[in-house]
Amino acid sequence: MRKIQFVLAFLLFLPVALPAQESFDAAAVQKIRQEGLERSQVMEIASWLTDVYGPRLTNSPITEMAGEWTVEQLKKWGLSNARMEPWGTFGRGWTNERTVVQVTAPVAFPVLAYPSAWTPGTQGLIKGSVKMVSIESLEDFEKYQGTLRNAIVMLGPPRQVLPSEAPLSRRLTDAELEEMAARSGAAEQRGRPNVSREEIRRRFAVQRALAAERTKFLAEEGVSVVLLEGRGDGGTVFVSSSGGSRSLDDPARTPVLVVAVESYGRIARILEKGLPVTMEVDVQNTFHDQSMETFNVFAEIPGTDKADEVVMLGAHFDSWHSGTGATDNAAGSAVMLEAVRLLKALGLPMRRTVRIGLWTGEEQGLLGSEAWVRKVFGEPGSPTPAQKKISGYFNVDNGTGAIRGVYLQGNSAVGPIFEEWMKPFADKGVGTLTISNTGGTDHLSFNAVGIPGFQFIQDPIEYSTRTHHSNMDTWERLQADDMKLNAAVVAAFVYLTANRPELLPRPQPLTP
């Protein structure tokens, strides 16, 4: 009964009650949604990119193979111009092929540890005794001079592990989403931290300089392996490239292992009792120096009457190396690949050309996207003609979590448009727009040259607690329902951007 009244009221008020708003082909969006939710291939795509072609550290051979596999899929789905395109100089490739780390005395136990990227291996099995050192300043070097030859060195005591009060996995609450939606551009600027950027940079530089000197000192003293305590606990170890170097001119000289806190702590507590600890370590790492250059992946779906204009979607393709780079960022890559697959499979006409871009070198500073964007769209302040022909760029790089809305990056004019476009997914919890910026990934390369570039708001799930740059970043952590939804939402946004009469509004600078 209520339903009938509602429909009647709706019909009666329809001509006057609705303000002028973004109109679009709702039936096409329903088709995208249905195909995406019911016949998804996103988890299978993600399995190839992680289980078979992972992890994807930039410029490693496996990443190249992942690129080749991806180009093959794109061709199979019928996209045009599927290609790997070199973007410039990155540095050496690196692969870890073997890691055996074992305490042998006073009691034998296996050690959970991963090599830091771009550090050398051990040249076969080595046996050595473990020494704890504490180097907090340059003055500390003196007390260890001549004492560390062939030692396996631990840098500093273990930290205390506290029980976690917060849940490991979570979704955004209504209150959090409301708070995000209520933000204003000015509040964003006011909310910046008290410590200046310069101060943060200065502190960082001091720490980095000490770390570099320490690395040099340990190599000169003939240390055989450095053990670093990893962030994370409960079997999770976060690993990146501390102590490593991808530069040919400045290679790392000492193997570095990042050790799980539980293993690190046990060794340290035994040493503290005055008992000598001996270990066996066999780490095999290979540097790949055939080419310092690497690639991004692209493919297109040509448009109809506005084919010279472009809509882009993308994600970074590379990862760190201790897991298989599932949530960071096979998730984003698989969602984007599935989105173009859906659009192609449905054969819905699109006026503008759709281009997918999958970037490498993101983990080392958005390198692949920045190099390509600047080549094609110009430097900040001096746009190329192509810059005037791109409507927008959509990016996914916050893990597996469901899309809940969009960060507008200060581009308020686009708000009312996206508001309408989210409606077909409102029942799935997609409905929040925030004027806020979010950083740390490739849409920034587009924003920097005045192109509307967007990153979606996503449920955190286990991204910062467990998977982001860790050994636990594996396919198991991907949530199928979220991944399917994300691909459908992205495909709908891309489809609607491609068919909108005008380009998306350009971002205006934030008013102070």
Among residue numbers 85 through 124, which ones bind Zn ion (CB under 5 A)? none
From 213-221, 279-287, 321-329, 482-490, span contacting Zn ion (CB under 5 A): 321-329
From 122-130, 235-243, 322-330, 475-483, span contacting Zn ion (CB under 5 A): 322-330
Number of residues that bind Zn ion (CB under 5 A): 1
321 or 341: CB nearest Zn ion: 321
135 or 457: CB nearest Zn ion: 457
318 or 482: CB nearest Zn ion: 318
Positive or negative, the Cα torsion across 331, 332, 335, 340?
A: negative
Angle at the Cα of 24 from the Cα atoms of 20 and 25, rounded to 5 degrees: 145
Please state the closest distance from residue 356 (CB atom) to Zn ion, in A: 19
- Cross-strand pairs, 115: 257
Enter the tokens of residue 319.
């990862």
Enter the tokens of residue 127.
């046996």
Q: Which residues contact 196 (CB under 8 A, 6 or more apart)?
A: none
24 or 359: CB nearest Zn ion: 359
Please state the closest distance from residue 469 (CB atom) to Zn ion, in A: 6
Which of 64, 221, 328, 482 touches Zn ion (CB under 5 A)?
328
303 or 332: CB nearest Zn ion: 332
227 or 472: CB nearest Zn ion: 472
Please state the closest distance from residue 503 (CB atom) to Zn ion, in A: 30
Please state the closest distance from residue 460 (CB atom) to Zn ion, in A: 14
Please state the closest distance from residue 113 (CB atom) to Zn ion, in A: 21
Residue type, 197: R
215 or 438: CB nearest Zn ion: 438
Please state the closest distance from residue 360 (CB atom) to Zn ion, in A: 12
From 47-55, 128-136, 320-328, 477-485, span contacting Zn ion (CB under 5 A): 320-328
* Sheet with 225-229, edge to edge strand ranges: 109-110, 93-105, 278-288, 126-133, 152-155, 225-229, 256-259, 113-115
The rounded Cα 490 to chain-centroid distance in angstroms is: 17
From 11-19, 323-331, 431-439, 450-458, span contacting Zn ion (CB under 5 A): 323-331
Give the helix ranges, DSSP H, for 48-102.
61-76
**CA neighbor of 312 nearest in space, from 357, 274, 255:** 357
CA dist., res. 76 & res. 57, Å (int) = 26
CA dist., res. 394 & res. 490, Å (int) = 8
* Sheet with 403-407, edge to edge strand ranges: 80-89, 293-301, 352-359, 306-316, 390-395, 453-458, 403-407, 432-434
Please state the closest distance from residue 328 (CB atom) to Zn ion, in A: 4
Please state the closest distance from residue 320 (CB atom) to Zn ion, in A: 7
Q: Is 289 helix (H, G, I), strand (E, B) or coil?
A: coil
254 or 364: CB nearest Zn ion: 364
**CA neighbor of 257 nearest in space, from 375, 119, 353:** 119
Residue type, 362: E
> For residue 100, which phi and psi values (nearest 5 degrees)?
-125, 120
241 or 432: CB nearest Zn ion: 241
CA dist., res. 81 & res. 359, Å (int) = 16
328 or 442: CB nearest Zn ion: 328
DSSP state for residue 329 in the 8-state scheme: I
From 136-144, 325-333, 427-435, 448-456, span contacting Zn ion (CB under 5 A): 325-333
Q: Is 205 helix (H, G, I), strand (E, B) or coil?
A: helix
- Cross-strand pairs, 378: 383
Please state the closest distance from residue 478 (CB atom) to Zn ion, in A: 15
232 or 303: CB nearest Zn ion: 232
Please state the closest distance from residue 26 (CB atom) to Zn ion, in A: 36
- Greatest alpha-carbon span in the chain: 90
336 or 414: CB nearest Zn ion: 336
Task: Identify how many contiguous H helices and E strands the chain contains and give both numbers.
Answer: 14, 18
CB-based closest residue to Zn ion? 328
CA dist., res. 1 & res. 7, Å (int) = 10
From 77-85, 276-284, 328-336, 345-353, span contacting Zn ion (CB under 5 A): 328-336
- Cα→Cα distances 27→349, 406, 418, 502, Å: 13, 22, 17, 21
Q: Using H for helix, E for strand and C for coil, what is the string for 330-358?
A: HHHHHHHHHHHHHHHHHCCCCCEEEEEEE
Please state the closest distance from residue 363 (CB atom) to Zn ion, in A: 5
CA dist., res. 34 & res. 14, Å (int) = 27
300 or 328: CB nearest Zn ion: 328
Please state the closest distance from residue 325 (CB atom) to Zn ion, in A: 8
Please state the closest distance from residue 84 (CB atom) to Zn ion, in A: 21
Among residue numbers 44 through 83, which ones bind Zn ion (CB under 5 A)? none
Judged by CB under 5 A, does residue 318 bind Zn ion?
A: no
Contacting residues toward Zn ion, per CB under 5 A: 328
